[in-house]
Chain A
Amino acid sequence: MLSLLAANWSTFLLGFWNTILCSLISLFFSLIIGSGFAILETVPNKFWRGVAKVYVEIFRNIPLLVVTMVFYLVLPTYTPLKLTGFQAGTIGLSIYSSAFIAETVRSGIQSVGVGQMEGARSNGMTYWQAMRYVILPQAFRIVIPPLGNQFVNLIKNSSILAFVAGFDLMYQGDIVASNTFQTIPSYVLVGLFYLILTLPLSYYMQYLEKKGV
């Protein structure tokens, strides 16, 4: 297995790098988009709540592969928009994950007692000020454990790139496996590379949880 790694290290490393890159970009955007829709889901205005609900329910209930294929195959066929596998996969992953993050953050916001909002408002804060300075800080603290789960899932889901030639870890592992016929060691190596990413993240999240931020 070590000799396989030694002979193909540049292949694996390129995949590792692309997986990290895709995960970081998706993490950033899905957190922003997800939090945005989470707030929309809790605003008093019925229309915007409805919009957020529709978004979340659509992307939470469609397989990631389908979302990605829409960006990879359907859009380039019917629009002038040309996306590479990496771009399509990262966009698909961001949107898909954002729906789950929205639900997670929403549950956090709603678990903060109504008294908090009422207290903040009666002290002269506007709705958005109360959201920003009172509700959200408490909500994010509550949702750290489930959010950590979503992040780990996101990293693993980045293997979607393998289906659209996104040159990620899984894709490169496939290539090594099919070129060397050392199927089992190849995929074990891929698994270990994913562990390098996900284990520290898991433990960092546990640390944050204990520390109470």
Chain B
Amino acid sequence: MKRTKLFRKVAALLFLLLTTVSLSACAVESDNSVRVYNHVKSSKTITWGVKYDTALFGIKSVKTNKLEGFEIDFARLLTKKILGKDGKAKFIEVTAQTKIPQLKNNNLDAVLATMTITDERKKSVDFSTPYFNAGTSLMTKTSSPIKSIKDLNHKGRVVIVAKGTTAADDIARLAPKAKIRQYNDYGSCTNALLAGQGDAVATDNGILAGIAKQHKGLHLVGGTIAVEPYGIAVEKGQTKMLEAINKALKEVKADGSYHKLVKKWFGDIPGFSVKEAEY
């Protein structure tokens, strides 16, 4: 009768898995449109999901062990606008893969992490008005013969992208003959490019500019191949929080503090137009 015992065990295991899945699906629903906003107001803290690995936007500096970048400063600025002078900004790291799940399970109040507004993502989260007009660009070794997206549209060409980014779709659309290889983060992408595992890295120009600035022998080519406006994401249905963020965005754009921040971080990057990036 060992066999029945075995099947019982397997069945129990499957049941456990299925309940976990369905329970976690239930937890997302419920609650009303002001929950996150009220929570933020009462705790005087906004928990932002930000990047820890993206130069210029959000990076944990190896030297100072502090978070720095445009989006970090921007999150602090918005926090003060929404909560007043004594509002606090808390930061949690997200990656392309974890940002939406973490937003859904309430680890985060909002995601401010180089997140492109797409229709597909709008099904899962709500976006603020755009705050940064990024564009997908290409980075190659300076010795590479590749000068534009057209050079990549050949059999045998390999384009490197980060998992969960929109660049993969852009490449599939604009250079359908190229092969796409995806890696977990931008560090792995850069290492793969340097080791010759691909011909170019494709992702947002601001991110690439940050990488190219640190690595001699890498440069941006071919201009922007697709427009990718960044938005701040909140959990779907949290309209009160979204309204507060949009209002704060409008205010910082009007009083010039937004422009100052963009200029501070991107003003001296060669080949990068502040005017194009600003909203």
Contact = CB atoms under 8 A, between A and B. Distances in A.
Interface of A: 1, 72-74, 76-77, 82, 85, 162-163, 165, 171, 174-175, 177-179, 181, 183-185, 188, 191-192, 199, 203
Contact of A188 (B21, B101, B188): B21
Contact of B101 (A1, A174, A183, A191): A183
A184 B27 CA distance: 13
A183 B97 contact: yes
Contacts of B97: 174, 177-178, 183
B124 A181 contact: yes
B121 interface: yes
Interface in B152-170: 163-164
A5 to B, nearest CB: 13
Contacts of B148: none
A184 B164 CA distance: 15
29 contacts: A1-B21, A72-B192, A72-B195, A73-B191, A73-B192, A73-B194, A76-B195, A76-B197, A77-B195, A82-B196, A85-B197, A162-B184, A163-B183, A163-B184, A165-B182, A171-B182, A174-B184, A175-B182, A177-B164, A178-B97, A178-B163, A181-B100, A181-B101, A181-B124, A183-B100, A184-B21, A185-B21, A191-B17, A203-B6
B38 interface: no
A82 B20 CA distance: 43
B contact residues, range: 20 to 34
Nearest to A84: B197
Contacts of A185: 21
Contacts of B25: 184
A136 B114 CA distance: 59
Highest count of chain A CB atoms <10 Å: which of B24, B25, B184, B195: B195
Contacts of B121: 181
Interface in B7-41: 10, 17-18, 20-21, 24-25
A63 B164 CA distance: 26
Given A165-B192, A174-B163, 4 more contacts: A1-B18, A76-B197, A165-B197, A184-B24
Per CB-CB distance, the 5 closest pairs between chain A and chain B, nearest first, are: A178-B164, A165-B181, A73-B195, A183-B101, A181-B124
Contact of B188 (A74, A163, A174): A163
Which secondary structure dominates where chain B touches chain A? helix
B277 interface: no
A74 to B, nearest CB: 8
A19 to B, nearest CB: 17
A72 B197 contact: yes
Given A177-B97, A181-B124, A188-B21, A85 B194 contact: no
Contacts of B89: none
A198 B197 CA distance: 31
Given A165-B183, A178-B164, A77 B21 contact: no
Given A178-B164, A183-B97, A188-B17, A77 B194 contact: yes
B96 interface: yes
Contacts of B195: 72-74, 76-77
Contacts of B6: 203
Interface string B80-103: 000000000000000011001100
Contacts of A162: 184
A77 B121 CA distance: 38
A124 B57 CA distance: 76
A183 B164 CA distance: 11
Contacts of B100: 181, 183
Interface in B172-193: 181-184, 188, 191-192
A76 B196 contact: yes
B19 to A, nearest CB: 11
A75 B191 CA distance: 13
A133 to B, nearest CB: 35
Q: In this complex, which of B20, B188, B197 has the most chain A Cβ atoms within 10 angstroms of its Cβ?
A: B197
A97 to B, nearest CB: 23
A117 to B, nearest CB: 38
Nearest to B96: A178
A162 B97 CA distance: 14
A199 B7 CA distance: 12
A179 B17 CA distance: 22
A37 to B, nearest CB: 29
A174 B17 CA distance: 19
Nearest to B17: A188
Contacts of A72: 192, 195, 197
A185 B195 CA distance: 34
